[in-house]
Amino acid sequence: MTISNAIEFKDVTFTYPESKAPVLKKINFKVKKGSWTALIGHNGSGKSTISKLINGLLLPDKDSGSVITVSGMNLNSENVWDIREKVGIVFQNPDNQFVGATVGDDVAFGLENRGVPRDQMVQTVKKVLSDVGMLDYIDAEPANLSGGQKQRVAIAGILAVEPEIIILDESTSMLDPSGRDQILKIIKRLMSEKNLTILSITHDIDEADMADNVIVLNDGKILAQASPTEIFSQTEMPRQIGLDIPFVDKLIYKLNQLGITIPKDVQTKDELKQYLCQLNSKK
């Protein structure tokens, strides 16, 4: 049987020891294997808590009936290490992710921990650094890299241990637009080359718009899970909870409000331009 979901949450409830009420309340969602899923929601809605639950850094409330499945395994205290092998997380701050004195050492760290023989380790480090376009920096000190370069090295470190799932937790939010675009392009390419599943936690609405699927989290509850088009141009919900929406969807929404009905298959900027031009030429 092939497993079609990389991640599945069933009725997951989580409370921090310090908090009075649960921060996640019986949440349910699925991330399809090989998909790019974006998780969006306000500050404090519980996004990072979800990412830490996926790799067992946090465990759901006891006796709450919560079930977390990752790569077909029901996460529990026995298989949490197997699951961590399959899930890599790239965090927000590139400076907090380094352990090695050089880029090469840093990427080798996870392999050293796993007792990979030296020859094989050197090969793998070179391969993954070239995957993210950072092979020329193998002997550089991490501190001297730009933010975008640091995040590329962090991604290489994760690729070295061949994960199935990569979680990007606001990984591009501290980068300039070109650094951000580079990271997203690299991730897109790696995703198809290595059959990865991507969960991208983001405030960047254009990044969410690139996803196959969007999950909207609000105050510890899932409000919706659907395609970006369905979420952003066909429902009132993101506007009602005050989330930003992509420019093209704002435009389609306004045009619809003005009585210019835009068909549902018109989704991108180019498709909209083309549709409006042919509408104009019919007049």
Ligand X SMILES: Nc1ncnc2c1ncn2[C@@H]1O[C@H](COP(=O)(O)OP(=O)(O)OP(=O)(O)O)[C@@H](O)[C@H]1O
Judge whether 69 and 5 are in contact, CB under 8 Å. yes
213 binds ligand X (CB under 6 A): no
Residue from the set 1, 20, 21, 43 that interacts with ligand X by CB under 6 A: 43
Query: Is 246 exposed, middle or buried (CB count within 10 Å of its CB: 0-12, 13-18, 19+)?
Result: buried
172 binds Mg ion (CB under 5 A): no
19 binds ligand X (CB under 6 A): yes
| Residue type, position 10, single letter | K
Tokens matching residue 85: 């092998």
Q: Where are the beta strands (DSSP E) in the chain?
A: 5-14, 24-32, 36-40, 67-70, 73-74, 87-90, 165-169, 197-201, 213-218, 221-226
49 binds ligand X (CB under 6 A): yes
Q: Which stretch binds ligand X (CB under 6 A): 11-19, 67-75, 128-136, 185-193?
A: 11-19
Token pair 């005050």 is found at 242
| Helix and strand counts by DSSP (H, E) for the chain | 11, 10
Answer with the entry of ligand X, Mg ion, none that 247 interacts with (C-beta below 5 to 8 A by kind): none
Of 42, 13, 39, 10, nearest to 25 by C-alpha is 13
Q: How far is CA 247 from the centre of its chain?
A: 21
110 binds ligand X (CB under 6 A): no
45 binds ligand X (CB under 6 A): yes
How many of the other CB atoms lie within 10 Å of CB of 253? 17
Residue from the set 45, 48, 225, 233 that interacts with Mg ion by CB under 5 A: 48
- Closer Cβ to ligand X, 45 or 151, answer by number: 45
Answer with the entry of Mg ion, ligand X, none that 171 interacts with (C-beta below 5 to 8 A by kind): none
Q: Which stretch binds Mg ion (CB under 5 A): 42-50, 60-68, 149-157, 241-249?
A: 42-50
281 binds ligand X (CB under 6 A): no
251 binds ligand X (CB under 6 A): no
Residue from the set 2, 18, 192, 265 that interacts with ligand X by CB under 6 A: 18
**Residue numbers at the binding site for ligand X (CB under 6 A):** 16, 18-19, 23, 41, 43-49
Q: Which residues bind Mg ion (CB under 5 A)?
A: 47-48
